[in-house]
Amino acid sequence: FENKENRFPIPAEYFKNKNDMFMLQIQGDSMVECGILDGDYVIVEKRNTAENGEIVAALLEDSATVKRFFKEKNHIRLQPENSSMEPIITKECTILGIVIGLFRVMK
């Protein structure tokens, strides 16, 4: 898997569609309550749609974010998994993919 800075070898048998994946490094603590921590790498399966409740990598303007996705009546809610943070409410966003795994360096 690749992100913009690194390449990570992961056994192919861990994932079905290894060619349709990428990794993002998490910055911040917006997803701590579901176990995704600052500095972690999430493994993202490329998809342009998501089901309610899935954790997505989404593009808002020129910035990628990882949040829980909810399509609601008149908007999309990108919900952080941190009770001290407010959701992002938007009319549209670009879904880059669904988070399917996590890589963490234990220091």
- Contact criterion met (CB below 8 Å) for 84 and 47: no
Interior angle at CA 49, CA 69 and CA 29, nearest 5: 35
Q: Which residues are marked as active site?
A: 30, 67
- Give me the sign of the Cα torsion angle 68, 97, 65, 60: negative
Rg (CA), the chain: 14
Strand partners, 55: 68
In the structure encoding, which two tokens stand for residue 57, read together?
């990598």
Write down how long the chain is.
Answer: 107
